[in-house]
């Protein structure tokens, strides 16, 4: 089964202290350490279609935070049909996922891991995720 934004929304909102962004497709976990009070862990990719013009949201591609560069490189090497990156994300701990290429179980694991990267340690510990 092919994943879509409805699957992303359902999985993300099932995680504790998660809120959906109001102005674009993205999800944050409440975190007092963040200036905004929440840290983003997954969002729709905005592609630069025309140089010099604003980026365009791609509902078929999801960006997820990862624990670090080693995890990013591992995912990119694992399946280029599923995972990719672009220059905008060079040096940033995130990987892009083609939703049509990923199953729901793997998507759930990646989103949960992304949530763990951004959630406060005590919340992760207390909820057992």
Asked whether the predicted pLDDT for residue 15 surpasses 80, the reply is yes
Asked if 96 contacts 89 with a C-beta cutoff of 8 angstroms, the reply is: yes
pLDDT at 73: 97
Per-residue pLDDT band for 105 (boundaries 50, 70, 90) equals very high
Q: Delineate the domains of the chain, giving CATH numbers in brackets.
A: 5-127 (3.90.1150.30)
Residue 127's pLDDT is what? Answer: 87
* CB crowding 104-119: b at 16 or more within 10 Å, else e: eeebbebbbbbbbbbb
Q: Model confidence over 33-87: pLDDT tens digits?
A: 777 889 999 999 999 999 899 999 999 999 999 999 999 999 999 999 999 999 9
């Amino acid at each position: 089964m092919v994943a879509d934004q409805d699957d992303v929304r359902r999985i993300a909102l099932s995680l504790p202290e998660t809120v959906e962004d109001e102005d674009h497709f993205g999800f944050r976990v409440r975190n007092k350490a963040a200036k905004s009070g929440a840290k983003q862990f997954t969002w729709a990719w905005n592609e630069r279609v025309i140089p010099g013009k604003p980026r365009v949201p791609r509902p078929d591609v999801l960006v997820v935070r990862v624990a670090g560069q080693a995890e990013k490189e591992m995912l990119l090497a694992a399946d280029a049909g599923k995972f990719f990156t672009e220059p905008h994300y060079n040096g940033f701990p995130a990987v892009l996922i083609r939703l049509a290429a990923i199953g729901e179980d793997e998507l759930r694991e990646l989103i949960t891991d992304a949530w763990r990267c951004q959630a406060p340690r005590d919340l992760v510990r207390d909820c057992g995720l």
